[in-house]
Amino acid sequence: MNRIGIATLGLAGCLLAPNAGHAQKLPPDIEASKVVHVALNADYPPLELRDTKTNALIGFDIDLGDAMAKVLGVKLDWQDGAFEQMMPSLQSGRTDMLMSGVYDLPKRRGTFTFIDYLRAGGQFYVPNTATDIKTVTDLCGKTITTSRGTNFPDTTKAWSDKNCVAAGKPPMTIITDTDLGQQLSNLKQDRAAGAVQGLEAVPTIVEMDDHGYHALGEPFSSTLMGIGFRKDEPELQAAFTFALKKLIDDGTYATLIKKWKLDLSSYTTATIDQGPAP
């Protein structure tokens, strides 16, 4: 885990709401039903995935989300779907919040408000069989697979423009995959020489297929991951802000960080809408 690092995010953002009494108030419909519908895509280990034996949802987000729900006396109804459908689902009101590896990016804040709860950023990784690739610039001129619906295609192109094209090397060819399974398949079948995922996921990915992959270089972007809410639901956002603060203060958050090996991603400041553009 120590072989990849992340630049410190010097953020002086908005801290958690200090008035806990008001923060615990829930919207009337949720107060009545005691159910919060949550959008996620269960294909992003170790944040959310399905147990191979039981098919049950497991992961850091599941544990943390359910712990916050317990603080608030509600139950989370996790609604698994495609990553690119999560934000439309929240925007339309089919779900009440999203918690699934989503980055708090400035361009998303016109519609949503985010509680920042993890450090995040892009990371290259390659199969161990790619013995000709020693450094990230060895990927210049090669095909890189990234995740559809994320900011990775844009940030990967920006890295390529700066580090490949500007240095007189051929640009990376960037393709997108629908899920992690397709990404790994692209690598195994030589449709891509390398891939990009979040630094929070790469330590788990490199252990897959009998430790068949390794991280390449340092994370090349830095931002924050957020729990998303519609802007017209400030009470719900404030309630989950209160719950997250409580779990940080009582040590539950730190315990879950250790359980899921997310030490590089720990973020205990819990800001609101403060993730920088990667």
pLDDT per residue as tens digits for the range 43-54: 899 999 999 999
Does pLDDT of 264 surpass 90?
A: no
| Three-state secondary structure readout of 216-238 | ECCCCCCEEEEEEEECCCHHHHH
Q: In this structure, which CATH number among 3.40.190.10, 3.40.50.880, 2.30.110.10, 2.40.128.30 belongs to the domain 20-120+223-265?
A: 3.40.190.10
At residue 110, what are phi and psi to the nearest 5 degrees? -70, -25
Where, residue-wise, is CATH 3.40.190.10 in the chain?
A: 20-120+223-265, 122-216
Q: In this predicted structure, what is the pLDDT of residue 11?
A: 37
**β-strands 143-147, 194-198: how paired?**
parallel
Does pLDDT of 229 surpass 70?
A: yes
Q: What is the per-residue burial (b if ≥16 Cβ within 10 Å, else e) of 25-43?
A: ebbeebeeeeebbbbbbbb
CATH of domain 122-216: 3.40.190.10
Per-residue pLDDT, averaged over 244-255, amounts to 98
Q: What is the per-residue burial (b if ≥16 Cβ within 10 Å, else e) of 214-246?
A: bbbeebbbbbbbbbbbbeebebbbbbbbbbbbb
For residue 134, CA distances in Å to 3, 184, 211, 257 come to 15, 19, 17, 31
What is the number of other CB atoms lying within 10 angstroms of the CB of residue 204?
19
Q: Do the beta carbons of residue 25 and residue 239 sit within 8 Å?
A: yes
At residue 220's C-alpha, the angle toward residues 215 and 221, to 5°, is 125
Amino acid at 112: F
pLDDT per residue as tens digits for the range 59-96: 999 999 999 999 999 999 999 999 889 999 999 999 99
Helix or strand (DSSP H, E) at 36: strand 35-40
Distance CA 237, CA 115 (A): 8
Q: In this predicted structure, what is the pLDDT of residue 278?
A: 81
176: exposed, middle or buried (C-beta count within 10 Å: 0-12, 13-18, 19+)? Answer: middle
Mean pLDDT computed over every residue of the chain = 90
